[in-house]
Amino acid sequence: MALNEEALQALKTELLDELVKEDPSKSQLAERLAEIRSADIGEVLEELIEEDEELSAALTVLDILSTERAANVLGYLPKESQLEVVGELSDSQVLKLLEEMGSDERADLFNRLGEDRREALLRRMAHQEREDLKRLASYEEGTAGAIMTSDYVAIASGMTVSQAMMRVRQTAPDAETVYQLYVLDSDGHLIGTMSLRQLMVARPGALVDDIMIKDVIKIPVDKAQEEVARIVARYDLLALPVVDADGRMVGIVTHDDAMDVAESEATEDIHKGMSIGQLEDGVSRVPLWSLYRKRVFWLVLLVFANLFSGAGIAYFEETIAAQVALVFFLPLLIGSGGNAGAQAATLMVRGMATGDVGVKDWSKMLGRELLVAGSLGLTMAIAVAPIGIFRGGEAVAIIVALSMVTIVLFGSLIGMCLPFVLERFKVDPATASAPLVTTLIDATGVLIYFSIATAILAGV
Amino acid sequence: MALNEEALQALKTELLDELVKEDPSKSQLAERLAEIRSADIGEVLEELIEEDEELSAALTVLDILSTERAANVLGYLPKESQLEVVGELSDSQVLKLLEEMGSDERADLFNRLGEDRREALLRRMAHQEREDLKRLASYEEGTAGAIMTSDYVAIASGMTVSQAMMRVRQTAPDAETVYQLYVLDSDGHLIGTMSLRQLMVARPGALVDDIMIKDVIKIPVDKAQEEVARIVARYDLLALPVVDADGRMVGIVTHDDAMDVAESEATEDIHKGMSIGQLEDGVSRVPLWSLYRKRVFWLVLLVFANLFSGAGIAYFEETIAAQVALVFFLPLLIGSGGNAGAQAATLMVRGMATGDVGVKDWSKMLGRELLVAGSLGLTMAIAVAPIGIFRGGEAVAIIVALSMVTIVLFGSLIGMCLPFVLERFKVDPATASAPLVTTLIDATGVLIYFSIATAILAGV
């Protein structure tokens, strides 16, 4: 059974109680830890490490575990915590841990170490290992190369089924997955793939070249990681092979890593939708200075954008002076337009991210939004009209109701179209965030409201 | 290679060209279709079905494919399109397709058919098949039961490794995954699990009971589907077994279905963040009436909430009359507070959804937000102060700068705390949407701004 929040807290207390004893019984602790999953130990250690004084407790736990298990647990820690742990260990301890980590996690951790530490570690590695690590560590963050592992099962073209099966058994302990196999020619080009399931039901003497699927779904090493997640999800893959520019196989991304990417991409999109830049860690751990920087940019920019709304109000000062009751409805009208517009923008941005909406759907979406936003505007106008009569009489009611329909309709169309426009100019459509859309609509709303008011009041 | 947008369009044109011929060559089409992945055929059919007049072309394509392949392609279609296709087929055609679908997709499609159609189909099924379908179709939408499949490999307790291996070979064609095996006692209780990898390296004569992992990660059938996705992601599982209240195994959820759930949950969260209700389909396909209903509720509610801002303005009419320049800064100040508050709320809601932030982290988050929001408020105050001097002199500048710091700080704290308060009262924290938070802060902002203005102007 997976551990829940309370069980994790109890485990943490239990570990701490044992560890603060004068002479903690390591064998007893080891026995207890053996029953607990690496992901759960990782969670407890993460909390211990965050509370600075308990870092040594976390180190003791890692020390008690076998190197393989410790490497596994380390892989579940957030990157900041990994660095804190590694900072307390000797080079030879770190080397042992690195050796046991998956090649993708190894390269990831290695990349975050200081220059000196990296040099010291590289000097002590075997040639092959060093080259492998350097290669994996060289891919740019956010690309397929940066999240792939080189621990996959490669089958040489020309092998028989039983030879391939032998190879699977030999590689089983090290490979990230043995359930999807890749056939390479003598130059390392990826020429086919097969599942272990296919291999198991094939005739032992058959050639892998005859049973493999030749049309392999693969991805170039420099493609964006969200593309990896999209392809894995779309074709329900266990693993996606990664190839270099010449079609040579360089690694795989497994389904669990693709799922992690999809989650962090969703988080990034959600944050972007509120004009927050990409955080390098969870919100509870990211340094405050970084959190400030990722939030301040658009906030300050939008302060200036909001000046247009103010200028709009100043321009209509006479109209306002003639009917002060109008100001009462200002927040309501521009707020409503902003909300409807932010909804429309969000629907499009997410639709584009999931592949549900494409650029070619623009006109269809425009037609749909016209109908929906028109109905929304009418409903809201009907809701607000009685208050208009109550506060300022019939003329104000008509002004407010008319403005509501127009502002909601305009706001929704601005919100809907902006992501398409951005995409057209190769800007991430997610830049059409709620704050940006709301600010644009605020300014438009002020103009619409007071123009309608001026016209109607002049007519009265 | 996965198909991109252009390749898909070309394929669609090609298929249509062939299909509109007087006498389309079915064998040629069949050959062409054999080279294309089911997911890609599904994508093309989806477009054909959406353009109503091409529904018959889609049906012809399905007819050309083998039943197994057609069932597979059908599984990739959105639910609405599935229903359109099935509406055109005879009962016996539907029965054949249902038989070839995965048990989870079968139950899903069945559940969406009309009462009459369901009865007609059930009458024609074998007893076992009927009971199985009725059971799977009975789980409430959004639960583990509703997304699980019953096509898993069950191993009887007491079997040897070689017997288990035989069982895997036999079940291979039907099971969703053969890579994770589940050991059941004679009453069907789930008592252990092992991977195919473990089985392959075990001694053939060993008992499965001796090599299986007894502490199985599993989930009750009535748990929410997002919990399934969370556990699969957390423990990097290939499949998560689902058990009933007595611990009897009833199905599995595979990694690819868990990934789909995670994606649709992310979409739901993103929409909720903008006060949009849960859509039953993609934004490009959901009926307009439904889209209207899912957007209108909060929009109208917030119209009334916005009245408080209006009332606030009305209350301070005298202050405004004394210094009309103040109105110029109103949209800017409440807009900034709303933006900062929406950011803070979004960071907490997403942190809670991913498990990064727990209720117990409340005080830590409050401390962090105080620092960050204070800095943001100061920065924005410095940005806006010169404009204050320019528009209304020193007094206005002081009022505006002071208000900016206070509103941004208050707004951020409201935004940050609201998700925790909601969670505390068992309301989904995602209800703390950007529009709700912004509206709350608008009203607070008006009060803060004009209170500060009244106080300072009275002192001048």
Q: Which residue has the higher pLDDT, B280 or A439?
A: A439
Is the CB of residue A75 less than 8 Å away from at least one CB of chain B? no
Query: How close, in Å, is residue A30 to chain B by CA atoms?
Result: 17
CB contact under 8 Å between A358 and B5, yes or no, is yes
Residue B108: pLDDT band (50, 70, 90) is confident
pLDDT of residue A460: 59
pLDDT of residue B79: 83
> Residues B10-32: what's their mean pLDDT?
75
Residue A52: pLDDT band (50, 70, 90) is low
Among all residues of chain A, which has the CA nearest to that of B231? Answer: A2
Among all residues of chain A, which has the CA nearest to that of B262? Answer: A263
DSSP sequence for B111-139: HHS-HHHHHHHHHTS-HHHHHHHHHHHTS
Residue A126: pLDDT band (50, 70, 90) is confident
Q: Which domains does chain B have, with CATH numbers?
A: 5-146 (1.25.60.10), 153-264 (3.10.580.10), 306-459 (1.10.357.20)
Pairing of strands B153-156, B180-184: parallel
> Residues B348-363: what's their mean pLDDT?
89
Contact B180, B208 (CB under 8 A): no
Q: Which of A206-210, B101-105, B247-251 has the lowest mean pLDDT?
A: B101-105
Query: How close, in Å, is residue A273 to chain B by CA atoms?
Result: 8
Q: Residue B267's closest CA among A142, A344, A359, A349?
A: A349
Chain A CB contacts of B302 under 8 Å are 335-336, 339
The Cα diameter of chain B in Å comes to 95
> Residues A115-135: what's their mean pLDDT?
87
Q: Could you tell me the two tokens for B179?
A: 């890579």
Please state, in angstroms and rounded to a whole number, the distance separating the CA atoms of residues A396 and A406: 15
Is the CB of residue A327 less than 8 Å away from at least one CB of chain B? yes
CB contact under 8 Å between A215 and B1, yes or no, is yes
Q: Which of A13-27, B81-95, B246-260 has the lowest mean pLDDT?
A: A13-27
User: Which member of B235, B329, B380 has the closest CB to residue A299?
Assistant: B380
Phi, psi of A416, deg, nearest 5: -70, -40
| Helix (H/G/I), strand (E/B), else coil: B254 | strand
> Residues A287-302: what's their mean pLDDT?
92
- Write out pLDDT tens, residues B202-219: 999 999 999 999 989 999
User: Which member of A169, A200, A260 has the closest CB to residue B169?
Assistant: A200
CB contact under 8 Å between B302 and A5, yes or no, is no
Residue type, A316: F
Q: How far is CA B214 from the centre of its chain?
A: 32
User: Which member of B300, B307, B368 has the closest CB to residue A379?
Assistant: B300
CB contact under 8 Å between B270 and A269, yes or no, is yes
Instruction: Kindly provide the ipTM of the predicted complex, given to two decimals.
Output: 0.85
| Helix (H/G/I), strand (E/B), else coil: B297 | helix
Is the CB of residue A458 less than 8 Å away from at least one CB of chain B? no
Residue B3: pLDDT band (50, 70, 90) is low
Please state, in angstroms and rounded to a whole number, the distance separating the CA atoms of residues A16 and A9: 11
pLDDT of residue A313: 87
CB contact under 8 Å between A274 and B343, yes or no, is yes
Query: How close, in Å, is residue B123 to chain A by CA atoms?
Result: 34
Is the CB of residue A196 less than 8 Å away from at least one CB of chain B? yes
Is the CB of residue A323 less than 8 Å away from at least one CB of chain B? no
Chain A CB contacts of B378 under 8 Å are none
Q: What is the mean pLDDT of chain A?
A: 89
Residue B22: pLDDT band (50, 70, 90) is low
Is pLDDT of B396 > 70? yes
Chain A CB contacts of B169 under 8 Å are 200-201
Among all residues of chain B, which has the CA nearest to that of A440? Answer: B335
pLDDT of residue B415: 95
Among all residues of chain A, which has the CA nearest to that of B404? Answer: A303
pLDDT of residue A1: 47
CB contact under 8 Å between A292 and B320, yes or no, is no
Please state, in angstroms and rounded to a whole number, the distance separating the CA atoms of residues B145 and B224: 9
| Residue B69 neighbours by CB under 8 Å, 6+ apart | B38
Pairs of residues, one from chain A and one from chain B, whose beta carbons lie less than 8 Å apart: 328
Is pLDDT of B420 > 80? yes
Q: Could you tell me the two tokens for A434?
A: 């709620």
Query: How close, in Å, is residue B119 to chain A by CA atoms?
Result: 33
